[in-house]
Amino acid sequence: MIGILKKVFDVNQRQIKRMQKTVEQIDALESSIKPLTDEQLKGKTLEFKERLTKGETVDDLLPEAFAVVREAATRVLGMRPYGVQLMGGIALHEGNISEMKTGEGKTLTSTLPVYLNALTGKGVHVVTVNEYLAQRDANEMGQLHEFLGLTVGINLNHMSREEKQEAYAADITYSTNNELGFDYLRDNMVLYKEQCVQRPLHFAIIDEVDSILVDEARTPLIISGQAQKSTELYMFANAFVRTLENEKEYSFDVKTKNVMLTEDGITKAEKAFHIENLFDLKHVALLHHINQALRAHVVMHRDTDYVVQEGEIVIVDQFTGRLMKGRRYSEGLHQAIEAKEGVEIQNESMTLATITFQNYFRMYEKLSGMTGTAKTEEEEFRNIYNMNVIVIPTNKPIIRDDRADLIFKSMEGKFNAVVEDIVNRHKQGQPVLVGTVAIETSELISKMLTRKGVRHNILNAKNHAREADIIAEAGMKGAVTIATNMAGRGTDIKLGDDVKIFGLAVIGTERHESRRIDNQLRGRAGRQGDPGVTQFYLSMEDELMRRFGTDNMKAMMDRLGMDDSQPIESKMVSRAVESAQKRVEGNNYDARKQLLQYDDVLRQQREVIYKQRQEVMESENLRGIIEGMMKSTVERAVALHTQEEIEEDWNIKGLVDYLNTNLLQEGDIKEEELRRLAPEEMSEPIIAKLIERYNDKEKLMPEEQMREFEKVVVFRVVDTKWTEHIDAMDHLREGIHLRAYGQIDPLREYQMEGFAMFESMVASIEEEISRYIMKAEIEQNLERQEVVQGEAVHPSSDGEEAKKKPVVKGDQVGRNDLCKCGSGKKYKNCCGIVQ
């Protein structure tokens, strides 16, 4: 093990040594760059661009370009990048991840590769986790780039299409990851190429890369449209679930967070809804609603997983602790929570377009990222994104004191000790940052501190608006700040002059399931060689300890007669915690890897559809493409009606009826004409007749109008079929794991069936376009229209893949109508009884 670690460390050292040589080259250029006037320094940008056109590469320009940026940063920002920042910039330019500790100046580091790669004119995207950071960095670092003659754009959620086009046309664009992904999806739903906003994806630098490519990797971006769906089933399922008793009528597994009805629960449901068998196929919808209501009541907790704000359910991001407005859980879970909390139930949505961050960012020609904590996920970055993690040395040695965990028997004992520690440090004037993993924990500590008379700030998803102000005050004398899940990431805690001796004290109230998040919390203290101390307080009742901790530790504490006020400081416990975290990280990585394998099936299909859509949009004349579709449609129809070996069994009448109904006019093709021909010869006269009719149609209107008519038809059919296909693929994905029984690989089954469904969709698209072109009456005032108005939402944030049921369109149910649950009974005698 030590040998492997040494080898890994040596690889990093070799990279640092190699980059050190480049840093020396940059330093050597300083004497020639420093004397330049501002105008001459700006002129370097034009010179570099010309040299690129003459055959030099960005790699050739690196030392000189970095030297120019360093000098410009000194003049414009009053900040001169250190040697370690130049190293970080080189690693980013090479498409790697620079691991730089908190306070080492990642934002300034990014300006070096951003400038160098922007010289190509292909556009550079700087990606941040929220709009506040995007605006801050664009304003501050934008001054530097504009001084050097480059254009800077910022891409925000509320912007108009024209503003977004301008932002993307700039040499450098600052944006959030969400907005980039949504713009990509929207660009592939537009009907005119002038409506596209993005250019081809060239180079991106992701700030807090672990947050975006690891924590949010399993969260798909979804553009969804409203689907009409009765909300009553949610109400009935909610009312029923409220009557259930734990362990007797449902079971809950804390480790897997899996909840299900027991035999007693199933019997109770069958009685309540007056049905014989809950698992009958016709009760699929009812069972789904009951399961989601169970999850809403048992798995999802108010003020931990979500908050209720202004009559709406708002999801809390489990990694950042921020509120995620506009995001909704998919598969009806959000509606089930709305029913549970008694707020208005909103309609379920249908997916029009979807992509995961994993697949979006893999489309960039070159990708890099920076963060303070990436080494623990190095394998994932290398295998999935082909990026190496390079640990950049700190500018000054770290002198922070990371203390061993203190473990208490109960939560009560732990929180009492935490508050006592805060009070003592507060009296000395030492600033304290308290890290919690849930909003309710932060509120509990807040109440305890208030009782002790300690003034403090709370930083969680509920007061996210004041985030920057609270963080700015967090390093002042005697400041106490309680932060949930690293809220405030991306903003430095700078120490007041009068507390430099103590430094910041960071107190963790429990371990996160990921070591990386714990390391981020520790990293808030001891920036830039400052002093600091970090201490985690744990209890045997913490979630991580309950899920993976050993019961014999608690038994040992009982045997020793330890009370709540006595902590143990044990390496055994610390090792157990770390191995539990490694296990969770391993499970999460496997889940993300598996998601990617499944998502790759849809990715390949999406690329085919989007590429063809692009070709349609840019093409002046689609007639050739449509004739090809007609040919395929005819050949399929002929093959379908002439499958039998004996000629007498061929269904020629059925073929002619199909052609008359879908493509030609009555009498265009007669049965006797086709009976004389072999199947492979039949297509020819049919296609000839189709082209003749196509020509007749063209004569009826100006060519321009005919060409637009073709585009209207193609877009309408392709977009409708594609959204239906996405839903069908989701449905397939949801049921595929059931096939794991009987030595069948569910992934392989999904790939095969997904491919068959895609081929079937393509055939359906070709047939429908052919039918519309040949049979539709052409209107004079043609206009391309979106199939459904879509809006950007996040379907899921509980770390699980988003899955959706195919959308069922339906109106409100009348008392005498058939019940929606599929029982075959009238509504008033079925689900309508459960009030």
Q: Report the binding-site residues for ATP.
A: 85, 103-107, 492
Closest CA to 327 of 301, 302, 346, 299: 346
Cβ-proximal residues to 672 (8 Å cutoff; 6+ apart), any chain: none
Cβ-proximal residues to 441 (8 Å cutoff; 6+ apart), any chain: 484, 509, 510
Q: Compute the distance between CA of residue 301 and CA of residue 290 in angstroms, rounded to an integer.
A: 17
What 3-state DSSP class applies to 534? strand
Q: Compute the distance between CA of residue 813 and CA of residue 177 in angstroms, rounded to an integer.
A: 41
Alpha helices, DSSP H only, in 260-406?
A: 263-272, 284-298, 333-341, 357-361, 378-385
What 3-state DSSP class applies to 348? coil
Cβ-proximal residues to 43 (8 Å cutoff; 6+ apart), any chain: none
756 CB-contact burial (10 Å; exposed 0-12 / middle 13-18 / buried 19+):
exposed
CA–CA distances in Å: residue 374 to residues 80, 371, 382: 26, 6, 11
667 CB-contact burial (10 Å; exposed 0-12 / middle 13-18 / buried 19+):
exposed
Cβ-proximal residues to 684 (8 Å cutoff; 6+ apart), any chain: none
Long-range contacts of 61-66 (CB under 8 A, 24+ apart): 61/116, 61/119, 62/22, 62/90, 62/93, 62/116, 63/22, 63/25, 63/26, 63/29, 64/29, 65/112, 65/115, 65/116, 65/119, 66/26, 66/90, 66/112, 66/116
DSSP per-residue letters across 148-163: TT--EEEE-TT--HHH
Token duo for residue 417:
């000790």
State the binding site.
85, 103-107, 492
Token duo for residue 325:
């407005």
Alpha helices, DSSP H only, in 619-702?
A: 623-641, 652-662, 671-675, 679-699
AA identity, residue 471: I
Helix 746-775 / helix 623-641 crossing angle, nearest 10 deg: 110
Q: Compute the distance between CA of residue 219 and CA of residue 128 in angstroms, rounded to an integer.
A: 16
Q: Compute the distance between CA of residue 205 and CA of residue 126 in angstroms, rounded to an integer.
A: 5
Cβ-proximal residues to 699 (8 Å cutoff; 6+ apart), any chain: none
> Which H/E stretch holds residue 259?
strand 258-261
